[in-house]
Amino acid sequence: MKSLLYKDFLALRTFLLFFLASVIFLLLIGFIKINELLPAAAIVAMTIPFQLISVEEKNNSHIFVNSLPVDRNAVVGAKYLFTLLVSTLLIGAAKMVNVFFSLPSERDFWDLLIAFVGIWGFTAVFYPLYYWLGPVFVKIGLFVTFIVAFGVAPMLYNMGVKNNFWGLLEVFESYPSLFWVIVLLAFTGIMLFLSLLLSSWLYRRKDF
């Protein structure tokens, strides 16, 4: 597993270093603000699976990996673990910088939780679709993700603000915060577990 994780790190090393250098540069010139780091990190975290798979498809590294005495379940598990680890580190680091330069508030926790749940949920959806549809999904999925992130999501948010989020805020406030934390984490955990099982099953059926 460690070797597989290290392989994925090497595949994305340049991308991650470029992202880090870009963020530092954009912060220094004032193009992005400290409070915009978390959304930026979340968007980059969503592109990690796309970047990882694109590099593998380009280099045909999946063929090499499957020529080794490596369990296919471990290959899939490493993909999930690497994506979740890097995404969590990116989002956590962005929020830590944000909190360091501003006064902490209760919203910080919810921002972090929603970002984590969103990325983990995205990961749970991405990999089964990739192992089912293949490389074509990477090309189409990246375009669809871009449209949803920058087109559909802001539109839905604005509609929600105008309609008081269709009464969902009242439902949310009627239960204690701990209840929603448990529900979100449990739901996301179940999604990831089922997603991992499905991805492993699909990957075992592939011929290389």
What are the DSSP calls for 31-42, one per residue? SS-GGGHHHHHH
The backbone region for 87, taken as left when phi is positive above 0, alpha when psi lies in -120 to 50, beta otherwise, is alpha
User: What's the predicted TM-score (pTM) here?
Assistant: 0.81
Structure tokens at 48: 């990690």
The whole-number pLDDT of residue 193 equals 95
pLDDT tens-digit readout, 85-106: 988 888 888 877 776 776 566 6
Q: Are 128 and 198 in contact (CB under 8 A)?
A: yes
Structure tokens at 49: 């699976």
Q: How far apart are CA 66 and CA 104, in angstroms?
A: 48
Q: Is the pLDDT of residue 139 over 80?
A: no
pLDDT tens-digit readout, 106-118: 667 777 888 888 8
Domain boundaries, the chain: 2-204
Q: Is the pLDDT of residue 122 over 70?
A: yes
- Short-list 139, 121, 109, 53, CA closest to 84: 121
